[in-house]
Each structure stands twice: as structure tokens, then as C-alpha cells.
Amino acid sequence: MIFQLLQNPLILVFFLVSIILAVAFHEFCHAWAATRLGDFTAKYQGRLTLNPLKHLDPIGFILMLVAGFGWGKPVPVNSNALKKRSDEALISVAGPVSNVIFAFIVAIPLLILQNFSSLPETNAILVFLSTLLEVNILLGVFNLIPLPPLDGFNIVRSLTPNAWQPSIEKFGKSGPAILIGIIALDYITGIDLLYPLIMGGERIVSGVISQSIMFFIDLIKH
């Protein structure tokens, strides 16, 4: 992906800015949810902020450039500070949900401009908004995959019986290597183990957002 982006410096800039904004908001919402539920670990470690430098993970960021999807620096969670195990699931799901909300907000001016202005599709504003929209949706969908260090794994872990925890924790230690291995295999061989899943989820979320906003735009037109 990075080689394609390098062919158009402006698109590369839009993509980098979109990643930085999406990841920062994603991780901030994890920290915010944890703080609201009584765990102040992330707050004390300076993660309750929108400062991207506090949230970018080098490996996850590089994979976003190379493969088109990745992750931010995991927000620390102290389960002992939470009232219920299900609170961990709420903290984990806050990240992907935040990206869907971000995408919805971005889609409003994008669809309004596309429907009520004469701007061409190549207009810089439209291209940036489209990029920001897609990056947020892809980040949210990708992070729901149940493999560590992604949010999907933490959601599953927090909702499974206690008897399963030792096995899940053991898998969690090797999970990142497995995930990177799958991404590398997809990228090198073109087998596309993750791509259909991620793009299928992206189309569903994008469709729901677009149809919801277009419903209100049609009401305004009439």
C-alpha cells in the first residue's frame, strides 16, 4: 500500500493524517471508558489525551502503511479496579465504536458536499473526508477481530468463563505474532485470509452510515 500512496504525495499526507487522528481518538476512548468505569491506570499514565504521540504503536503504524490496517498502543487496564468483568468488554468495545462514531460524523459533511455542491470528486476536501471516513471504519472493523492485541480478543477474553482464562492468557502471549504472521502471509502470497472479512465488515458499516445520513438528506431535499 505504501508504494501506491507514494505515487501521490497528497493522498499519502491525507492517509497519514487520517491514521493519526483515528488511532488517537480510538485509544483516547479506551482510556475514557476505563476512567469512567473506575480504572484510572490509563489516566495516570497520560493516556487520557488526544495527543497522537501517546497512542501510536510503531509496529501497528507500520502495518497500516504496508497492509492498510493495524493498531495503536494498547491502553493499560487494571481489572482489579473494575467492578465487573464485563467492564473490560465495555472498555475494549469503546475503541471500535468510537471509530464508527467518528466515521459517522465525517460522513455528514462529506455526503452533504457530494449532494449539494458542485465540487469534483478529486477535490482535496472530498478526498480527505473520504480517506478519513474509510480509515476510521477499517480501523474499527479490523480491531474487532478476536486476535491479540486487538480489541476483539479482549472482548472475548472478558466474557469467557474463568476456567478458560489460563488457556486464553497463554494464547494472548503468542497472538500478536500469529496476527502479524497472517498479515504477512496475506501480503506476500495474496491468499487474503483477513481481507474479505475486513472489507465485508467495512461495506456493511459504510452502507449503514451512508443510508442513515442519506435518509435525512432526502428529507431535507423534499
| pLDDT tens across the length of the chain (222 residues) | 544 555 778 888 898 899 999 999 999 999 999 999 999 999 999 999 999 999 988 888 887 777 766 778 889 999 899 999 899 999 999 999 999 999 999 999 999 999 888 999 889 999 999 999 999 999 999 999 988 889 999 999 888 888 888 888 888 777 778 877 887 787 777 777 787 888 899 999 999 999 999 888 787 776
- Expressed as residue numbers, the domain containing 80 is 2-221
The predicted model scores a pTM of 0.88
Q: Which three cell numbers stand for residue 91?
A: 472498555
Residue with cell 472475548: 156
Which is the catalytic residue, given 27, 88, 134, 202? 27
Count of CB atoms situated within 10 Å of the CB of 206: 18
Q: Are 151 and 96 in contact (CB under 8 A)?
A: yes
Q: Which three cell numbers stand for residue 55?
A: 497512542
Closest CA to 155 of 95, 198, 101, 68: 95
Catalytic residue flag (residue 169)? no
Domain count, the chain: 1
Angle, helices 86-116 vs 151-159, to 10°: value is: 140
